[in-house]
């Protein structure tokens, strides 16, 4: 019945006043309707039992991607990077599938039990479908925080990329070509930040062709060795000579130098991730953190003590999750935060956080009826909001669908030192680490008592 179906359902976060279970309705047992209802109920039980059998026998493939990493020195390091990413996402997809089918079994068993009791009582089964659906969502929670479709797409993209890299041979790229690519990248720089793009590919190619990757690995090892003497801190200043080796090779403008530094940072942290994935993979008990997020996202602006000037009166007592779902700016912010789990370095992570903060700024401008809610926020590095105002809205926004390695990312942001980043990224980093720490330690009862 289910064949090789891999669950791709995404779920809303329903709110409801009360639970509504199926109930046993009286009906004249001698009527034709009663006979018809009982006949249908027997058929339903058979269908449910067949479904339950399929659910119990559901098997998941060992791998959800097609390529296999070759053994030995022939393996490209960049392929290993893809493999690490795929492996991590695969585990999460498998966990989601297992939970989904376990809950499906419980729901199916429950429905069979209701039907059988109704038949024993010589009654028919009835319920309000929408209310029972909400009851199911509450009784058998799913991993709402797991954006499955996004992860499946990333798995597909990385799978294709890794397969190509298994047979890929880097083409030679000379100094003139890399310099030309760098000049183009410098022209695309905005607010001291260059998004991942063509130059990063060219620079990685350049490093492989000129046998510089080994140098990155040596500096990664040097930095990791020093973490023991620095209480776990990752001191990026130890890579100074590595940076200077590339920076002194060319005569560069300020923008070109910034773009090149960003590419060096990305390669360095990619290498760190390949060699020591523990720095970015979640190591702590994540279930408690997710539970706190689940509780926070449905609080109202009044409970969250959000400044009334930043919302409309109608929003005051509306669960913030519902506000997000009706606000394109906030939906875009949630999507930006979800991208964090696919980055390995704090520059790109902070960029994603700051982009989410821009969405909050647009949301506030819209509520204050400004003629242009965007108000240059898409390109500006400034936010006309205080830390406290940003914090109060960012918290439920983050809790709505947090990155799957939220705590590990926060730890990485905290532990990486002497990596020069723009001031607006420092603000984004402070917001992120503060939010994660707050959610980890929150006692919801105490928090709500302060809002009364």
pLDDT of 337 reads 93
pLDDT of 143 reads 42
83, 193, 194, 230, 255 from 187: Cα distances, Å: 33, 11, 10, 38, 7
CA atoms of 369 and 384, how far apart (whole Å): 15
Closest by Cα among 12, 16, 14, 15 to 144: 12
pLDDT of 207 reads 87
Residue 73 pLDDT > 90: no
pLDDT in tens, 181-206: 999 999 998 888 988 888 988 898 88
Helix/strand/coil percent split, the chain, to 5: 65, 5, 35
Residue 183 phi/psi, 5-degree rounding, is -60, -40
CA atoms of 142 and 422, how far apart (whole Å): 39
Q: Helices 346-367 and 406-415 meet at what angle, rounded to 10?
A: 110
Q: What is the mean pLDDT of residues 220-242?
A: 90
Q: How confident is the model at residue 212 (pLDDT cuts 50, 70, 90)?
A: confident
Which has more confidence, 73 or 164? 164
Q: What angle do CA 329, 334, 337 make, to 5 degrees?
A: 125
In sequence order, what are the beta bridge partners of 72? Answer: none
Residue 428 pLDDT > 70: yes
pLDDT in tens, 302-330: 999 999 999 999 999 999 999 999 999 99
pLDDT of 16 reads 28
Q: What is the mean pLDDT of residues 43-49?
A: 75
Residues 6+ apart with CB under 8 A from 333: 355, 356, 357, 358, 359, 360, 363, 397
Q: What angle do CA 149, 152, 157 make, to 5 degrees?
A: 125
Is the separation of the CB atoms in 439 and 395 below 8 Å? yes
**Choice among 87-96, 181-190, 288-297, 378-387 with the minimum mean pLDDT:** 87-96
Residue 375 pLDDT > 90: no
pLDDT of 160 reads 58
Q: What is the mean pLDDT of residues 32-43?
A: 68
pLDDT in tens, 127-136: 666 666 666 6
pLDDT of 127 reads 64
In sequence order, what are the beta bridge partners of 125? Answer: 24
Q: Model pTM greater than 0.85?
A: no
pLDDT of 17 reads 30
Residue 142 pLDDT > 60: no
Q: How confident is the model at residue 14 (pLDDT cuts 50, 70, 90)?
A: very low
Domains within the chain, CATH numbers bracketed? 23-166 (no CATH), 174-279 (no CATH), 286-449 (1.20.1050.80)
- Around Cβ 360, how many Cβ atoms within 10 Å? 23
Which has more confidence, 54 or 254? 254
pLDDT of 162 reads 55
CA atoms of 130 and 124, how far apart (whole Å): 19
CA atoms of 218 and 254, how far apart (whole Å): 28
For residue 367, what is the DSSP state? Answer: H
Closest by Cα among 400, 134, 138 to 290: 400
Mean pLDDT across the chain, nearest whole number?
78
Closest by Cα among 161, 103, 155, 118 to 21: 118
pLDDT of 108 reads 78
Is the separation of the CB atoms in 179 and 367 below 8 Å? no
Percent of the chain's residues with pLDDT above 90 = 37
pLDDT in tens, 243-275: 999 999 888 999 999 999 999 999 999 889 888
Which has more confidence, 75 or 15? 75
Residue 416 pLDDT > 90: yes
- Around Cβ 175, how many Cβ atoms within 10 Å? 11
CA atoms of 179 and 299, how far apart (whole Å): 52
Q: What is the mean pLDDT of residues 93-99?
A: 69
CA atoms of 452 and 447, how far apart (whole Å): 10
Residue 403 pLDDT > 70: yes
pLDDT of 11 reads 30
Select the highest-mean-pLDDT range: 147-161, 170-184, 404-418. 404-418
Residue 25 pLDDT > 60: no
């Amino acid at each position: 019945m289910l064949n090789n179906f891999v669950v791709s359902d995404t779920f809303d976060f329903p709110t409801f006043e009360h639970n509504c279970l199926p109930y046993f309705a009286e009906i004249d047992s001698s009527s034709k309707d009663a006979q018809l209802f009982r006949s249908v109920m027997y058929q339903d039980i058979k269908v449910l039992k067949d479904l339950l059998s399929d659910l119990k026998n559901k098997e998941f493939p060992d791998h959800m991607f097609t390529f296999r990493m070759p053994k030995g020195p022939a393996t490209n390091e960049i392929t290993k990077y893809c493999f690490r990413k795929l492996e991590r996402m695969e585990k999460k997809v498998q966990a989601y599938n297992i939970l989904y089918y376990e809950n499906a079994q419980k729901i199916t068993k429950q429905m069979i039990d209701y039907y059988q009791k109704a038949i024993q009582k010589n009654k028919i089964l009835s319920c309000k479908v929408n209310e029972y659906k909400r009851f199911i969502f509450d009784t058998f929670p799913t991993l709402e925080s797991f954006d499955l479709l996004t992860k499946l797409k990333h798995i597909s993209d990385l799978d294709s990329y890794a397969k190509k890299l298994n047979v890929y041979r880097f083409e030679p790229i000379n100094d003139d070509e890399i310099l030309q690519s760098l000049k183009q990248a410098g022209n695309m720089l905005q607010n001291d930040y260059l998004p991942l793009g063509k130059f990063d590919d060219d620079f990685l190619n350049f490093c492989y062709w000129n046998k510089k990757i080994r140098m990155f690995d040596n500096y990664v090892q040097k930095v990791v060795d020093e973490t023991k003497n620095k209480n776990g801190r990752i001191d990026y200043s130890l890579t100074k000579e590595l940076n200077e080796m590339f920076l002194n090779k060319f005569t560069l403008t300020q923008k070109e130098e910034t773009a090149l530094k960003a590419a060096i940072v990305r390669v360095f942290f990619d290498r760190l991730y390949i060699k020591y994935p523990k720095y970015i993979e979640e190591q702590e008990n994540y279930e408690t953190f997710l539970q706190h997020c689940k509780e926070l996202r449905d609080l109202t602006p009044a409970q969250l003590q959000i400044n009334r000037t930043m919302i409309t009166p109608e929003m005051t007592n509306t669960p913030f999750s519902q506000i997000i779902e009706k606000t394109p700016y906030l939906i875009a912010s949630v999507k930006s935060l979800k991208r964090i789990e696919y980055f390995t370095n704090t520059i790109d992570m902070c960029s994603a956080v700051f982009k989410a903060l821009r969405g909050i700024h647009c949301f506030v401008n819209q509520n204050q009826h400004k003629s242009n809610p965007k108000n240059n926020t898409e390109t500006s590095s400034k936010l006309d909001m205080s830390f406290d105002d940003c914090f109060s809205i960012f918290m439920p926004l983050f809790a709505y669908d947090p990155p799957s390695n939220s705590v590990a990312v926060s730890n990485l942001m905290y532990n990486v030192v002497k990596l020069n980043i723009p001031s607006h990224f420092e603000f984004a980093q402070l917001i992120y680490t503060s939010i994660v720490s707050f959610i980890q330690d929150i006692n919801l009862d105490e928090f709500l008592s302060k809002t009364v």
